[in-house]
Amino acid sequence: PHIPVICVDGPTASGKGTLASEVARRLGYHYLDSGALYRITALAATRAGLALDLAHEHGIARMAETLPVRFVDGRVLLGGDDVTDAIRTEEAGMNASRVSALPAVRTALVALQQSFRRLPGLVADGRDMGTVIFPDAALKVYLTASAAQRAERRHKQLNLKGIPTTITALRADLEARDARDSQRTVAPLKPAQDALLLDNSEQSVDESVAQVLRWWDEKQ
């Protein structure tokens, strides 16, 4: 049967995860946080002592192919280890961006990502969901917000968790990550040709969710 997919792609800290997981919840669909797979791969490679560079591309890709990863009740498990918090740091994000620029690593994660497409449907967020992983998705959203807004939101999030940072440092960090993600040769961050653009700089989460659900209704 045809299994519907909604893709939400966009730059770092644009609110993709919040939007995509809420849309999934409202529709009763599965949810794929593809960035988590790159974060987990980077963590597993670091723990195995591999530098995150081209010299280890194939070693890291082999690890990615057989990642013992499970998503259970909102927790992320790597083997027997709960890595939910370890993969959420800024450093983990930057490391994910490094391994994600290695072509063999991206290829190694394709089948795993596509395996999340199960009935009754899937909402997937990332950088290349609409361009590479689910090119036939019925709805592709490209979510953006200004760098200033994104840095401020990330700052609030981290503050709540008691992690000290400055908006200036966060903004530099996310701009560096966006630059790397947009400039890589394989699956660079860019809107799919048939993506609908959503700028949530001035929008609440509820408003963005409502917009995506309206677009989805219009497709039915």
CB atoms within 10 A of CB 136: 7
Concatenated DSSP letters of 110-123: HHHHHTT--TT-EE
- The interface region with ligand C5P, picked from 91-99, 138-146, 160-168, 202-210 by CB under 6 A, is 91-99
Q: Does 171 bind ligand C5P (CB under 6 A)?
A: no
Q: Does 116 bind ligand C5P (CB under 6 A)?
A: no
Calculate the alpha carbon distances from 130 to 7, 89, 151 in Å. 6, 26, 25
Specify the residue, 29 or 38, whose C-beta has the smaller distance to ligand C5P: 38
Specify the residue, 26 or 88, whose C-beta has the smaller distance to ligand C5P: 88
Select from 4, 6, 12, 151 the one that contacts ligand C5P (CB under 6 A): 12
Select from 14, 18, 39, 154 the one that contacts ligand C5P (CB under 6 A): 39
- Is 59 marked as binding a ligand? no
| Integer Cα distance of 147 and 153 in angstroms | 10
Which amino acid, one-letter code, is at 165? T
Q: Does 96 bind ligand C5P (CB under 6 A)?
A: yes
Q: How many CA atoms lie within 13 A of 12 on its CB side?
A: 27
CB 127, min distance to ligand C5P, A:
4
| Integer Cα distance of 51 and 89 in angstroms | 18
Give me the 50-89 binding string for ligand C5P, x by CB under 6 A, dash otherwise: ----------------------------------------
Residues present in the chain in total: 220
β-strand pairing of 122-126 with 139-144: unpaired
| Integer Cα distance of 206 and 26 in angstroms | 12
Which residue numbers belong to the known binding site for ATP?
10-18
- By CB under 6 A, name the binding residues for ligand C5P: 12, 34-35, 38-39, 93, 96-97, 100, 126-128, 177, 181
